[in-house]
Homo-oligomer: A and B are copies of this chain.
Amino acid sequence: MYWQQELETMPVEALRALQLSRLQTSVRRAITSPYYQQLYQQRGITADDLNTLDDVKRLPFTTKQDLRNGYPYGFLTVPKTEVVRLHSSSGTTGQATVIFHTAADIRDWANLMARCMYMTGARNSDVFQNMSGYGMFTGGLGFHYGAELLGMLTVPAGSGNSKRQIHYMKDFQTSVIHIIPSYALHMISVFEEEKVNPRDLHLRIAFLGAEPHTEHTRKRVEDAFGVKAFNSYGLSEMYGPGVAFECPEQNGLHIWEDSYFVEVINPDTLEPVADGEIGELVLTTLTREAMPLIRYRTRDLTSISSEPCPCGRTHRRIARIKGRSDDMLIIKGVNVFPMQVEAVLMSIPEVGTNYQIELETVENIDVMTVNVEVRDDFFLGDVKGLTALQQKITNALKSEVLFTPKVKLVEPDSIPEAQGKAVRVIDRRVAH
């Protein structure tokens, strides 16, 4: 039932003591990097200032911009001979970031991933098809290493080539998949084209990661594939996937507090928010060697719960990610998260598997158009039905975002297929 019972079910008090000792080690290590050395010297901070977990508040936050400024080697704490891997964000814009890993980091990451997957019920008797891109994208190698460590038969399918994916599922009797939610929605129509019912295959578990998604999307994937779908959370700055994951209770994602010190703050005041209140997730690595990060502002919006979980794990749970503080669109002065739009669309049965938000400036006013794929069977219906559907979606969106968007119904599969993360927003607005 547990991959590492002692750590996963550690009494909270012991867990906090472990965190404090690891936090001290991690800060001591961080201070050997050029970036933190200079910063902490300027502020007169030493690792000795950390006598309780509460003392973490004395430490400055680390932001994505800090990582950019420190690119490439500013955060490194070990000689380059000890580094065995890096993962970098796009290097073409000049705004790249990079994360380094020692061999121990790679093992640690694989272990966390194995722990996550084992928690959902995946076992070494499972066949695991990794349907996400490999290479720089941390989702690919992250799940791959974890699955091999767990002992699943790993099928390194990669992303795309949907018909071949279906062949693999049939031939190898795939029982567990890792898939990006937008690609999972796309696959539903490929299964229909191929006249294969995924419920007739051996699938039983799906890991949905890399993109925030709604409960409706999960339900759609679960219904179509005949699986139990688990929400995976991670970010490349903290290895990648494996930071937090749902247990079979599916009442939030256990965040591994033996590896991460967790805070949720108000992004404006930077003060901690109460349990259950939405704020920005802030993480400190507790075990990473090559590149410890202290109080890293993830930009991901969530809340935390300390309620005991029936599964017996004592690590707290974060709620499904509500969006990123960066992703917030200000449209006609209103704060809108793409996730809100998705939640509305996925609750309407006639809506297909894909959508896209377009933003334009028309006569100095923001205009939001939502292109919505309609399911095959509904699209072939009469014009009256389509007009009614368009009105229904418009009303539902209006009641969520509080202004009236344009809604355009489009044919199934007419929005370009996502192979990596889906492009949900096209913003062509003129800067005011």
Contacts and interface: CB of A to CB of B under 8 A. Distances in A.
A71 B168 CA distance: 12
B153 A106 contact: no
Size range of the interface on A? 35 or more
Contacts of A80: 125, 127, 153
Contact of A140 (B134, B148, B157, B163): B134
18 contacts: A71-B171, A80-B125, A80-B127, A82-B151, A84-B147, A85-B156, A86-B155, A91-B167, A91-B171, A92-B167, A96-B167, A96-B171, A98-B171, A103-B151, A106-B148, A134-B134, A134-B135, A135-B157
Contacts of A124: 81-82
Contacts of A152: 84
Given A80-B125, A92-B163, 8 more contacts: A72-B171, A81-B151, A86-B153, A86-B155, A86-B172, A87-B156, A96-B171, A98-B171
B153 A136 contact: no
Interface of A: 71-72, 80-88, 90-92, 96, 98, 100, 103, 106, 124-125, 127, 133-136, 140-141, 144, 147-148, 151-158, 163-164, 167-168, 171-172
Given A80-B125, A92-B164, A167-B91, A85 B153 contact: yes
Contacts of A155: 86, 88
Contacts of A167: 91-92, 96
A109 to B, nearest CB: 12
B96 A154 contact: no
B83 A153 contact: yes
Contact of A85 (B92, B125, B154): B154
Contacts of A133: 158
Residue of A82, A127, A172 ringed by the most chain B CB atoms within 10 A: A172
A140 B134 CA distance: 9
